[in-house]
Amino acid sequence: MALVRRRSSPSSLERIVNALSMAAMGGLVGAVTSSAAPVVFDGHIKVRVAPASRRNSASTLRDRSGPDRHRRSEPALLPKKNQLEGAWPTLLTSPSTKGEGEPPRSRRSEIMASNSAHISSDKRFLIFFDFDETIVDETSDDMVVQAAPGQHLPAWLKDTYQPGRYNEYMQRVLSYLAEQGVTESDIRNIMEKIPATPGMVTLFQYLRTRPQTDFEIVLLSDANTFFIESWLRRAGARPLFHRIFTNPATFNRDGRLVLRPFHSHDCPRCPDNMCKQVVVRDYVARRTQERGRPYQRVFYVGDGANDFCPALSLGPRDVAFPRRDFPMHRLITETHEAMPGEFKAVTVPWVSGEDVVQRLRKLVAE
């Protein structure tokens, strides 16, 4: 029996109405691009955010898994990701900017800076994509279970899952698969066969045909490098992405895929290994500083509850593209109903990637 994370009821949003006002998240990307103040990682890849209440801090937002009725298959037998769990925690406040006494940046942050510096500075728009159930129509962590004996995990392994520690749980799953003789080739074959989300190929084709000065394209996912790279290269879509931010994963000498957290942070809502909002804010600030000017618009295409967190940092000229009726869309809708004006970005729900193309055509032409 699959371990399913329970969803929060719509009334849970009322608990965070006051926190929304206090967090003042609306328009943060716009503010960042004006000030170009970078978010800095320390030597432990840890990001500090302003103090916030830790009530319900165990509740986290996962990056994937939309409603079960949208899922094409259920090989998963993994905890459902990207559902709303329990009461909503206090909202993240603005991450700290550089100040006196701040430790030097980590090597990973230095690499982020050097890599982004090689991207052309003449791009007009910045667009972020989630991966699972956004680019692909399944959850890659669920799909890898197809490599297990009988295409399911033993109950003792599923029982080791703890809320907020999904990354650690997946490390145990990958270790188990290696012990069962699952090879790198086996996992790659599964990843390569995941179907693209409807209309996503059309969206990618549209982005490819645009002038080089239009879109800077970034992938931001709580999956891992091996899963994502395997799918993108098979689909021929890897060159489209200027940057990919996800959890590092490499095979060790024993043939086991070793998964590591992307970073640590102090956001009380997000899983321990990744807060997407921190990544978005850091990247936008860094690129604005490198470019010497802000982007005309920032777009975010996602589906999950954890995609709502970075979307909160978008400004009124930016656009959030939530997959219709998935957690990100529900959270935005509830926020609009509870506190009109608190979610600043224009919201464009999508069922197919073609819906995104239609809106991008209009925005590019403006």
Q: Position 21: which residue type?
A: S
What Cα–Cα distance (Å) separates residue 174 from each residue in 4, 228, 328, 357? Answer: 20, 16, 28, 36
In angstroms, the CA 322 to CA 300 distance is: 8
Q: What's the pTM?
A: 0.74
Which pLDDT tens digit goes with each residue over 55-112? 233 334 444 433 333 333 333 445 555 554 432 332 323 333 333 333 334 444 444 4
Identify the three-state secondary structure at position 144. Answer: helix
Burial of 251 (0-12, 13-18, 19+ CB in 10 A): middle
Query: DSSP letter at 257?
Result: E
Q: H/E/C letters for each residue in 265-302?
A: ECCCCCCCCCCHHHHHHHHHHHHHHHHCCCCCEEEEEE
Residue 145 to residue 71: CA distance in whole angstroms: 15
Provide the pairing of β-strand 243-247 with 215-224.
parallel
Residues 169 and 159: beta-carbon distance below 8 Å: no
| pLDDT one-digit tens code per residue, 227-281 | 999 999 999 999 999 999 999 999 999 999 999 988 877 887 788 888 999 999 9
Q: What percent of the chain has pLDDT over 70?
A: 68
CB count within 10 Å of CB 238 equals 14
Position 121 scores a pLDDT of 83
Cα–Cα distance measured from residue 242 to residue 215, given in angstroms and rounded to the nearest whole number: 10
The tokens for 212 are 């080089």
- Report residue 258: phi and psi, to 5°: -95, 120
Averaged over 194-207, what is the pLDDT? 98
Report d(CA 273, CA 63) in Å as an integer. Answer: 11
pLDDT score of 333 more than 90: yes
Rounded to an integer, the average pLDDT of 296-316 is: 95
Top-confidence residue, 25 or 80: 80
Task: Give which of 14, 294, 341, 277 is closest to 128, Cα–Cα.
Answer: 277
Q: What's the confidence (pLDDT) of residue 164?
A: 75
pLDDT over threshold 70, residue 25: no
What is the pLDDT, as a whole number, of residue 272? 81
pLDDT tens digits, one per residue of 221-240: 999 999 999 999 999 999 99
pLDDT on residue 75: 37
Catalytic residue ranges: 130, 132
Percentage of residues of the chain with pLDDT beyond 90: 59
